[in-house]
Structure 1
Amino acid sequence: MNKTIARTPAGAGVTTRTIAKAAVIGSGVMGAGIAAHLANAGIPCLLLDIVPTSLTPEEEQKGLTLEHPQVRNRLASKAVAALPKSSTAPLYRADDAARITPGNTEDHLAQLRDADWIIEVVTERLDIKKSILKQIESVRKEGAIVSTNTSGISVNAMAEDCSEEFRRHFLGTHFFNPPRHMKLLEIIPGYDTDPEITAFMVQFCTKRLGKGVVVAKDTPNFIANRIGTYGLLVTLKEMIRGGYTVEEVDAATGPVLGRPKSATFRTLDLVGIDTFVHVARNVYDQAPAGKEREVFAVPEVMEQLVARGWIGEKSGQGFYKKIKGEQGSQILSLHLDSMEYHPVAKVSSGSLEAAKAVKGARKKVKAFLSTPDRYSELAWHVLKQVLVYAAEKLGEIADSVQDVDNAMKWGFNWELGPFETWDLIGLPASVQRMEAEGLTVPAWVKEWIASGNRSFYKTEEGQLFHYHKGAYRGVETEPERISLSLLKQQNRIIRANSGANLIDLGDEVACLEFTSPNNAIGADILVMIQQSVDEVRANYRGLVIANEGRNFCVGANLMLMLMEAQSGDWDEVDDIIHLFQGSMMKLKQLEKPVVAAPHRMTLGGGVEACLPADRIIFSAETYFGLVETGVGLIPAGGGCKELALMISDSHPDPEADLQPAINRVFEMIAMAKTSTSGPDAIRMGYGRPGDTVVMNQDYRIYEAKQAVLEMDRAGYAPRDPGRIRVTGRDGRAVLQMGALSLKQGGYISDHDYLIAKKLAHVLTGGDVPAGTVVSEQHLLDLEREAFLSLLGEVKTQQRMQHMLAKGKPLRN
């Protein structure tokens, strides 16, 4: 199960390696997070730290000594114990922590000989890292891979005193924090690293750990931190030069520029201003004297903030400060001239409004930069310097423009990398403007334009090319990475409407892609589902349901439902629910295999679109749940029915007690519980036999396609109509009694209780005796009746309005 085959560059042969066990040295935030993610991937991991030199008060009270194992393992043990409670949720499931064995570097160092991969994650000091590597070398087995997680210390300098065999198996693996959630992993080979080891680690970390891997050069801060730190420092200098406020800078350097909402200063507060200062100094200390080194000089204001202890969220204040008052919380921003905090002021302008008026990062950036005012000017002055700097560093920090772009997208959550952004704003015209404004553009960029090229990337006949050492080079794509956007460029759309596409994946497999805003399910998607079933039935071997949106599906079109309810058009609402239920049943009854491949937020109707499939291929990062009660409703697209059917099918003995399982599902839906991951969705009961989790989201469509082909080759037989044994009136009474006790205890409101009663009625099969066997349509009718009844409630409509306006539930 843990075997990964790494294919090396042409002519280098094929190496088969196994990482059956790993070890991490250093149990701080990063070390514990890396160990947790290895555990997520099913890899047993040894986590070691130093032996404490003093007892805690609790240890003294217990009468422990410094020699007691509980004391000697304290640092690693505390780190493991803290993982399930961490706000960053480093584990997919709490019980994954059982794969991590805590220990210390004195008593358990010899156990490193069992590890296939040893990761050093100790203090960012060269002398300490060199010392640890010598200890590792003294016990590791020959051929074991050793890596350092460093944000910028030279990989070659660390291993210079180690043997040649050690250096061949040594490299940098720079995880970004938090390791589970941040996609970027920079792999940094040393001078002596065996190319086969690099190739293996790239593939292993991509497929098994689900990372976006870029290969970086052994230079200060590598790729993402080098460019990201430069950009943040340039932004601060432009802010001071132009007299902008903290909130003005964040307004101009966030989503309108294709960057995260945290923009500049919220990002610094999140990262930690002290951490940022350390990273900046690392480049400053190693860069040659000149213009670049001057940029990396730490600004005085940051020195002041660190000296005052105002280092961001971990200290409670930085560039922003949150205070609590009688009227609720208030956010203050720092005025750099006075070093005093003031209420955050609203920022608005023509350029900002132009960006807000359009959808998608590319359109936002173009609209923003093409509307002249002081905010778009600030963004331009920052952007031009970052683009030129990225071009200057190409070849020094990485060989490929794509690696640079991916590093910034995966490591800093930019929507567009520097070279993609340059293409977007117009390469020749922007270079002309940069030079007119006194900026020196690297010669290779001007030569590239002079040769007749107008972009760093181009697409021809569905093949993507990028600049590489003076020529266009085809972007290598693995068969496992199916790109719907590229397939659409190759004219592989079979059918399309305003909310969905049906796309030919090849090998006679089709893919249903949602394309509506937030992929919310409306009539257009439902119509396309029905048309897709007809098309696949006639011409294809099976169907995949997947898309490449930010989230798979946030549910049904809430606004549409609310508008119809408020206008009193109940026949229209009833028709929509009939259409939804009918579409899901038609999908389920297709005589060809259907596989759903959800990712990230898959809520409400998105779950109901997955449950009729024969299999679900969950992305590891899938947040899956029937959350309709949060807006005063219950699932009505078959969600309740499908879970009741799964319980009935899993208890084939007619005398088996269904009540405990029904209680669990009732609580899950009533409390709008959502999985914290793909594995957690299976644990919650959404998984069926054959359902799996894919670590790398980029591979889920391929895996779903393979599942379709596998079922087809095995001789797919359509499922029989479901027959559902229900708990009836007796089961309903149990559920309602539980809800009543919560209401009487003040834990839920009267309206919550009403919703709970409706949900209980549906899940238990309505007014029938316990043990009655009902049809799927019977439960669908109950779902529809309950949904319509709740939709007519004023308090439900208030909840829907609040969710649409505020993005969070109202408990009324």
Structure 2
Amino acid sequence: MSRFQVRKVAVLGAGVMGAQIAAHLVNVKVPVVLFDLPAKEGPKSGIALKAIANLAKLKPAPLGVPEDAARITPANYEEHLDLLKECDLVIEAIAERMDWKLDLYTKVAPFIAPHAIVASNTSGLSITKLSEALPEEIKPRFCGIHFFNPPRYMSLVELIPTPTTVASYLDQLEGFVTSTLGKGIVRAKDTPNFIANRVGIAGMLATIHEAAQFGLSYDVVDDLTGKKFGRASSGTFRTADVVGLDTMAHVIKTLQDNLKDDPFYGSYATPPVLAKLIEQGALGQKAGAGFYKKVGKDILRLDPVKGEYVPGGGKADAIVDRILKKPAAERLKLLRESTNPQAQFLWAILRDGFHYAAVHLKDIADSAREIDFAMRWGFGAKQGPFELWQEAGWQQVAGWIKDDIEAGKALCKEPLPAWVFDGRTGVHTPEGSWSAAQSTYLPVSKLAVYGRQHFPEAVLGSGAVDPLKSGTELFKNDEVRVWTLDGEVVIASITAKLHLISPTVTEGLLKAVELAEQSYQGLVIWSPDDVFSAGANLEALMPVFMAKGAKGIAPEEKKLQDMMLRMRYASVPTVAAVRGIALGGGCELAVHCSQRVVAMESYMGLVEVGVGLIPGGGGLTYIARRAAENAVAGAGADLLNFLKEGFQAAAMAKVGTSALESKKLGYLLDSDIVVPHKDELLYIAISQAKAMANAGYRAPVAKPIPVAGRMGIATIKAQLVGMRDGGFISKHDFHIASLIADVVCGGEVDAGTLVTEEYLMALERKHFCALLEHPKTQERIMGMLQTGKPVRN
């Protein structure tokens, strides 16, 4: 695949979005020059400098690791325009003012490299009108690029061409944003607010309107329209607070100013409560108050009638909760026919959303697929409106919408388009998704970048293959499927809930190694969801524990440890393709593979102390080994210095909240590969296994490990005593941490003593099993199994 080479990017505008776009670029190792106006006081690039410094304070964190902020070069338009000549991509992200943007384009145009792509990050301004300020030679390389906030975490990026944008440049940009930035691309037409904000904000306005009609409070609406409804957990009003009520009002005003002929124009009126909050400066989360206000630990909600904040926490009625668990067809029928106001409200907003999407499909999107993906990736919906409509029974739901329009219950009288009633069963088919503008089904993009996605995210009805039913199956038990896609590399997929590691999983993974060594180039451990493994399955061992106590667990623990060593010393490369969470035993499995290929937004850590245990699957042995290797690499550096970081990570159950942070914690090596796009993970993992095999892979030679011994244990315990006596950790925390120190330091031996991995794992087993008998550990385990939350005792 030929790539658009982006050696450096210029971001124009160091505001909230500009700075965070810059942060995400450096997360994926792309150097950035961040421009803003010259400061009136202090350093000329002071505005950009302040924005870069502020990145470390933002939550959620825009940077994978804070030190990457150093990759952002601060600049100003007075002194540094020449730096633009070094940039392959220029992203303009200043305030949503057409006149300001046009003025800036005039200023920077003479300095833009002749090959560079130029893109405006705007949430709804006309890209075509913006292009008019550019010289003719730049227009073919200009388009809109709309990141969603926060850019690091939100998948959606909308790309918007103008009539003069050359297709090849847009294709190059799509490849870069997909593969290098890890985003989901939706191509939008140059219409006000594009796709996601057009449909999403119209939906939020409809929700506000219908909530008032049915007399529902904001907290109840958010509970109804959150996770249980298949949407973002923040619901509607909380989402508005997070986005910013002024930002929402700006998007609404774009609709009002540019869509006076829209049949839904009447529903674009600014809600009085929104206007009043903005007038009072209550702009949402950033202002400390909006539809909600946090007072101490309490979250209060606005009562619009009283005009004051009152206790929140209102929930959906139990009957509505039950309805929402039904299959789509039954769910929508029950909501529509129910006399419960909450159920009627939910049917109303679904009907409004279906009606709006169908009427506007022709004008705003190439196909229904773009609308559904935009709502998934930009607004956190589990399904887009067309997917849900299709799943619930296309013609049945269409009839209900038609009846409501004719009865005057809908937001407007505009009838559904004729194509809705042409006998179809939906808009998504294996052939493609329906284009109302072209009256045909459009297939998915054939750009080369998507060849790197073996199982790309797909819309319902598109006939996408189930990864766990694909390829050639080599072995299967109740919790592991071993298979191959290409006949060259074995794939092991854990299918147990949360991919917890049980004896059955251990058996399946051992079989996968055996098969790979017999006839294949390597083994990849991969599963098609956001869980690599959440750890060991304690519940599966409960019957053994009840029958035989800790003595019965020891043999099972040894089998787990032996499997980890089998992964490490296999004669073929073993690659952990980590996506999402890899905790406890999942982290131990990953670190014992030959290499790790890790999705950027992954969470790795040894978290066993949360259930009163120590890592027992070789995690502490790994820490001791890596500390010894680092000390040797440091030309005789103090082993204990390297050991302390690993000890703290395990004793404090630190979790890397990105692949980059996991490298800092030592769970990933510099040689491991961070993959920005989750759907490329399997492709890259298989490629790595083949490359290692083709390079003549040889398993590492088992070597004795020098340990810190009793002196190291004493040093660590001295620090723990201070923490215990100061009330920072409990007595049981002290006991667990002391056992961790005992293992990573190699037990009661002299400093520098050479031990084997098996010796260290025996120490792990001994302490792990002893803790199982401890009453306070049992309290923690039962608390976690019953509530899912850690018990502090």
Is TM-score (shorter-chain normalized) higher than 0.5? yes
Q: Tell me if 1:754 matches 2:741.
A: no
CA contact (8 A) 1:725 1:771 kept: yes
Superposed, 1:527-606 pairs within 5 Å as 527-560=507-540, 569-606=549-586
Q: Is the 8 A contact 1:351 1:375 kept in 2?
A: no
Identify the residue that residue 444 of structure 2 maps to in structure 1: 475
Residue of structure 2 aligned with 1:349, choices 304, 312, 317: 317
Q: Report the equivalent of 1:288.
A: 260
From 482, 506, 510, the counterpart of 2:490: 510
Whether the aligned pair in 2 keeps the contact of 1:255 and 1:261 (CA below 8 Å) is yes
Distance in 2 separating the partners of 1:745 and 1:248? 43
Tell me if structure 1 keeps the 8 A contact 2:358–2:417. Answer: no
Tell me, what secondary structure is at the counterpart of 2:484? strand
Partners of 2:181 and 2:594 in 1: CA distance: 26
Q: In the alignment, which residue of structure 2 is the partner of 1:428?
A: 395
Is 1:797 the counterpart of 2:751? The answer is: no
Describe the SS at the equivalent of 1:220. coil
- Matched AA of 1:434: I
Distance 1:625 1:803, change over 3 A: same
**How does 1:23-422 map onto structure 2 within 5 Å?**
23-53=10-40, 66=41, 70-324=42-296, 329-354=297-322, 372=338, 373-422=340-389
- Give the superposition deviation at 1:356: 7.5
Conservation of the 8 A alpha-carbon contact between 1:728 and 1:764: yes
Q: Does the 8 Å contact 1:352/1:368 carry over to 2?
A: no
**Aligned 8 A contact 1:164 1:192 in 2:** no
| Partner of residue 12, structure 1 | none
> How far apart are the structure 1 equivalents of 2:35 and 2:132?
24
**Can you give the 5+ residue segments of structure 2 that lack an aligned partner in the other structure?**
407-413, 457-464
- Inter-CA distance 582–466: structure 2 relative to 1 (3 Å threshold): farther
Say yes or no: does 1:455 pair with 2:455.
no
CA displacement at 1:367 relative to structure 2: 10
> 2:199 is aligned with what amino acid?
I
User: Distance between the aligned counterparts of 1:235 and 1:524, measured in 2?
Assistant: 48
Residues 199, 364 of structure 1: CA spacing in aligned structure 2 closer, same or farther, 3 A cutoff?
A: farther
CA spacing shift, 1:798–1:318, aligned 2, 3 Å: farther
User: Mapping of 1:663-702 within 5 angstroms?
Assistant: 663-688=644-669, 690-702=671-683
Counterpart for residue 602 of structure 2: 622
* Comparing 268-277 and 197-206, the one that deviates more: 268-277
**Residue of structure 2 aligned with 1:648, choices 612, 624, 628:** 628
Distance 2:153 2:541 in 1: 34
Q: Bigger CA drift: 744-753 or 34-43? A: 744-753
- Amino acid of the structure 2 residue aligned with 1:509: V
Q: Deviations over 1:371-416 (max 9, x none)?
A: 9444333222111221221222223222022222111111111111
Q: Deviations over 1:418-454 (max 9, x none)?
A: 222122212122112222323665335425x42xx32
Structure 2 counterpart of 1:5, one-letter code: S
Superposed displacement of residue 690, structure 1? 3.4
Residues 329 and 392 in structure 2, CA contact (< 8 A), matched pair in contact too: no
Letter aligned with residue 84 of structure 2: L
Q: Distance in 2 between matches of 1:29 and 1:370?
A: 42
Aligned partner of residue 268 in structure 1, secondary structure: helix
Residues 711, 141 of structure 1: alpha-carbon distance in 2 compared, 3 angstrom cutoff: closer
**CA gap 1:197/1:474 in 2 versus in 1, 3 angstroms:** closer
CA–CA distance in 2 between the matches of 1:317 and 1:561? Answer: 48
Instruction: Assess, with a 3 A threshold, how the Cα gap between structure 1 residues 699 and 346 changes in structure 2: closer, same or farther.
Output: same
Normalising by structure 1, we get a TM-score of 0.89
Could you tell me how far apart the structure 1 residues matched to 2:81 and 2:727 are?
Answer: 54
> For 1:182 and 1:509, how far apart are their aligned partners in 2?
32
CA contact (8 A) 2:329 2:393 kept: no
**Counterpart secondary structure, 1:404:** helix
Task: Provide the rounded CA distance (Å) in 2 between the counterparts of 1:539 and 1:351.
Answer: 56
1:5 aligns with 2:2: yes
Letter in 2 for 1:73: S
Using the TM superposition, give the Cα deviation of residue 782 of structure 1 relative to its aligned residue in structure 2, in angstroms.
0.9
| Secondary structure of residue in 2 paired with 1:422 | helix
**2:753 corresponds to 1:772:** yes
Report which stretch shifted further, 705-714 or 676-685.
Answer: 676-685
Q: Which runs of 5+ in 1 are unaligned?
A: 7-16, 54-65
CA distance in 1, matches of 2:697, 2:2: 31
Deviation at 1:745, TM superposition (A): 3.3
User: Which whole-Å CA distance do the structure 1 matches of 2:264 and 2:60 have between them?
Assistant: 35
C-alpha distance in 1, partners of 2:117/2:26? 18
Task: Give the residue type in structure 2 aligned to 1:45.
Answer: V
State the alpha-carbon separation in 1 of the partners of residues 538 and 173 from structure 2.
Answer: 45
Question: 696, 709, 712: which is aligned to 1:728?
Answer: 709
Q: Distance in 1 between matches of 2:569 and 2:333?
A: 46
1:644, 1:763 within 8 Å by CA — same for their partners in 2?
A: yes
Does the 8 A contact of 1:537 with 1:592 survive in 2? yes
Q: 1:566 to 1:313 in 2, by over 3 A?
A: farther
Q: Per-residue CA shift, 1:248-295, capped at 9, x if unaligned?
A: 222221122210111111111111122111111111110024532111
Match of 1:790, SS state, is helix
Q: Deviations over 1:678-723 (max 9, x none)?
A: 1222232223363111121211111000011112222333333353
Q: Which amino acid aligns with 2:38?
A: V
- Larger displacement relative to structure 2 (709-718 or 128-137): 709-718
CA distance 1:247–1:751, shift in 2 (3 Å): same
Letter in 2 for 1:666: F
| Cα pair 1:512 1:543 within 8 Å, conserved | yes
In 2, the alpha carbon distance for the partners of 1:27 and 1:563 equals 58
Report deviation, 1:554: 2.3
The CA distance in 2 between the partners of 1:40 and 1:527, in whole Å, is: 38
- Checking the alignment, whether the CA contact within 8 Å between 1:256 and 1:364 is kept in structure 2 is no
CA–CA separation in structure 2 for the residues paired with 1:261 and 1:624: 23
Residue by residue, what CA displacement relative to the aligned partner does 1:102-161 show, whole Å, maximum 9, x if unpaired?
Answer: 122222223222222222111111111100011111322323222111111111111213
Contact 1:188 1:217 in 2 (8 A): yes
The aligned amino acid for 1:455 is G
* Distance in 2 (alpha carbons) for counterparts of 1:238 and 1:475: 35
Residue 545 of structure 2 contacts residue 552 of structure 2 at CA under 8 Å; is this kept in 1? no
Contact 2:230-2:383 at 8 Å conserved across structures: yes
1:442 to 2:416 alignment: yes
Amino acid in the other structure paired with 1:354: R
* Equivalent residues, number: 771
Matched, 1:520 2:491: no
CA RMSD of aligned residues (A): 2.7
In structure 1, the partner of 2:409 is none
